Amino acid sequence: MNAVIEEHDNHHGPDKGILRWVFTTNHKDIGTLYLWFSFLMFFIGGICALGIRAELFQPGLQIVQPELFNQLTTMHGLIMVFGAVMPAFVGLANWLVPMMIGAPDMALPRMNNYSFWILPFAFGMLLSTFLMEGGAPNYGWTFYAPLSTEYAPPSVTFFIFAVHLMGISSIMGSINVIVTILNMRAPGMTLMQMPLFVWTWLITAYLLIAVMPVLAGVVTMMLMDIHFGTAFFNAGGGGDPVLFQHVFWFFGHPEVYIMILPAFGVVSAIIPTFARKKLFGYDSMVYATASIAFLSFIVWAHHMFTVGIPLAGELYFMYATMVIAVPTGVKVFNWVATMWQGSMTFETPMLFAVAFVILFTIGGFSGLMLAIVPADFQYHDTYFVVAHFHYVLVPGSIFSIMAAVYYWLPKWTGNMYDETLGKTHFWLSFIGINVTFFPQHFIGLAGMPRRIPDYALQFADWNMVSSCGAFLFGFSQLLFLFIILKCIRGGERATERVWEGAKGLEWTIPSPAPYHTFSKPPTNMAEAHG
Amino acid sequence: MNILKRPKQIWLLPAFLFSHVASADWFALNLRKGVTEISREVYDLHMLIFYICCAIGVVVFGAMILSMVIHRKSLGVKAASFHESTKLEIAWTVIPIVILLGMAVPATSTLREMYEPGEPELDVEVRGYQWKWQYTYLNEDPSKEIQFMSALLTPQDEIQNRAGKGEYYLLDVDNPLVVPINKRIRFLITSNDVIHSFWVPDFAVKKDAIPGFVHESWAVIEKPGIYRGQCAELCGKDHGFMPVVVHAMEQEDFDAWVITKQEEAAKVFEIVGKSWSMDELLEKGEEVYARNCAACHQVNGQGIPPAFPSLVGLGIPVGPIEAHIDILLYGRAGTAMQAFGQQLNAAEIASVVTYTRNAWGNNMKDSVQPKDINTMMASQ
Distance from C-alpha of B35 to C-alpha of B31, rounded to nearest angstrom: 12
Query: Cβ contact (<8 Å) for A449 and B230?
Result: yes
| Residue ranges of domains in chain B, CATH in brackets | 20-73+82-114 (1.10.287.90), 122-267 (2.60.40.420), 274-379 (1.10.760.10)
* B239 chain-A contacts, CB cut-off 8 A: 66, 70, 449, 451-452
Q: What is the C-alpha separation between B233 and B236, in angstroms, rounded? A: 9
Contact of A411 with A505, CB cutoff 8 Å: no
Q: Which amino acid is at A94?
A: N
Selected for mutation to probe chain A from B41, B73, B161 (highest A CB count within 10 Å) is B73
C-alpha dihedral, B258 to B264 to B269 to B272, nearest 10°: -150
DSSP state, A530?
A: -
How far is it, in rounded angstroms, from Cα A27 to Cα A98? Answer: 8
Buried (b) or exposed (e) across A316-325, using 16+ Cβ within 10 A? bbbbbbbbbb
* Residues 6+ positions from B182 with CB-CB distance below 8 Å: B220, B221, B222, B251
**How close, in Å, is residue B269 to chain A by CA atoms?**
31
Q: How sure is the predictor about A3, in pLDDT bands with cuts at 50, 70 and 90?
A: very low
If contacts are CB pairs under 8 Å, which of residues 6-35 in chain A contact chain B? none
Question: Is the pLDDT at A387 greater than 60, yes or no?
Answer: yes
Q: Percent of chain A, pLDDT > 90?
A: 92
pLDDT under 50 in chain B at which residues? 1-7, 13-14, 16-24, 26
Question: Pairing state of beta strands B132-137 and B146-150?
Answer: antiparallel
Of A107-111, A277-281, B374-378, least confident by mean pLDDT is B374-378
Using CA atoms, how far apart are residues A339 and A333, in angstroms rounded to an integer? Answer: 10
Using an 8 Å Cβ cutoff, are A451 and A386 in contact? no
**Is A313 an interface residue toward B (CB < 8 Å)?**
no
Binding-face residues of A in 412-451 toward B, CB within 8 A: 442-443, 445-447, 449-451
What b/e sequence results for B334-371 when a residue is b if at least 16 CB atoms lie within 10 Å of its CB, and e otherwise? eeebbbbbebbbbbbbbbbbbbbbbbbebebeebbbbb
Interface subset of A 457-496, CB within 8 angstroms of B? 457-459, 461-462
Are B159 and A60 within 8 A, CB to CB? yes
Position A1 scores a pLDDT of 37
Alpha-carbon torsion angle B353, B355, B358, B364, nearest 10: 20
Does B232 sit within 8 Å of A326, measured CB to CB? Answer: no
Examine the pLDDT at A175 and tell me if it is beyond 80: yes
Count of beta carbons in the 10 Å neighbourhood of residue B234 = 26
Residues 227-246 of B with CB under 8 A from A: 229-241
- A interface test, pick of B59, B195, B198 with most A CB neighbours within 10 Å: B195
From chain A, the residues in CB contact with B85 under 8 A are: 337
CA-to-CA distance for A50 and A46, rounded, in angstroms?
A: 6
Indicate the SS3 state at residue B208: strand
Picking from A445, A423, A430, the residue whose alpha carbon sits closest to that of residue A391 is A430
Which of B79, B197, B304 is nearest residue A277 as measured by Cβ atoms?
B79
pLDDT of residue B21: 44
* Angstrom distance (rounded) from CA B221 to CA A307: 23
Chain A residues with CB inside 8 Å of B28's CB? 442-443, 446, 458-459, 461-462
- Are the CB atoms for A196 and A100 separated by under 8 Å? no
Residue A439 near residue A465 (C-beta atoms within 8 A): yes
Contact yes or no for A348/A426 (Cβ under 8 A):
yes
Q: How far apart are CA A202 and CA A290, in angstroms?
A: 10
Work out the pLDDT band at A10, boundaries 50, 70, 90: low
ipTM: 0.91
Kindly report the number of other CB atoms within 10 A of residue B278's CB atom: 12
CB-based contact (8 Å) between A395 and chain B?
no
CA distance B283 to chain A (A): 29
pLDDT at A499: 95
Question: How far from the centroid of its chain's Cα atoms is residue A494's Cα?
Answer: 28
The phi, psi pair for B34, rounded to 5°, reads 80, -175
The secondary structure of A23-60 as a DSSP string is H---HHHHHHHHHHHHHHHHHHHHHHHHHHHHHTTSSS
CA distance B378 to B272: 14
- The end-to-end CA distance of chain B, in Å, is 67
Query: Tell me: the pLDDT tens digits for A327-381?
Result: 999 999 999 999 999 999 999 999 999 999 999 999 999 999 999 999 999 999 9
Using a CB-CB cut-off of 8 Å, the residues of chain B touching A59 are 165, 169-170
pTM of the model: 0.88
Residues of A annotated as catalytic are 76, 105, 141, 169-170, 253, 255, 257, 268, 302-303, 328, 331, 450
| Cα separation of the two ends of chain A | 34
Is the preceding omega at residue B131 within 30 degrees of 0, hence cis?
A: yes
Q: Sort out which chain B residues have CB atoms less than 8 A from A134's CB and list them.
A: 306-307
Q: Peptide bond preceding B306: is omega within 30 degrees of 0, i.e. cis?
A: yes
Nearest to B161 by CA among A70, A56, A59: A59
Q: What is the pLDDT of residue B26?
A: 47
Identify the pLDDT of residue A527: 64
8 Å CB contact between A259 and A251 = no
Nearest residue to B39 via CA among A368, A443, A374: A374
Q: Is B280 helix (H, G, I), strand (E, B) or coil?
A: helix
β-strands B132-137, B122-129 pairing? antiparallel
Instruction: Name the residue in chain B with its Cα closest to that of A338.
Output: B83
Query: Closest approach of chain B CAs to the CA of A30, in angstroms?
Result: 36
The answer to whether A109 contacts chain B (CB < 8 Å) is no
Q: What is the separation of C-alpha B153 from the centre of its chain, rounded to a whole number of angstroms?
A: 12
Evaluate if residue A64 carries a pLDDT over 50: yes
CB A337 within 8 A of CB B87: no
Taking the C-alpha atoms of residue B324 and residue B318, their distance in angstroms, rounded to an integer, is 9
Q: Which of A63, A35, A42, A21 is nearest to A404 (CA)?
A: A35
**Residues in chain B closer than 8 A to A236 (CB atoms):** 211-212
What is the residue type of B69? V
Peptide bond into A272 cis (omega under 30): no
Q: Any residues with CB less than 8 A from the CB of A314 and at least 6 apart, and which?
A: A305, A373, B111, B115
Return d(Cα B299, Cα B289) in angstroms, integer. Answer: 8
**Contact between chains at B208 and A306 (C-beta distance less than 8 A):** yes
Q: What is the pLDDT of residue B4?
A: 43
Of A301, A299, A163, A318, which Cα lies nearest the Cα of A242?
A301
pLDDT at B19: 46
Which bin fits A275, alpha (ψ -120 to 50), beta or left (φ > 0)? alpha
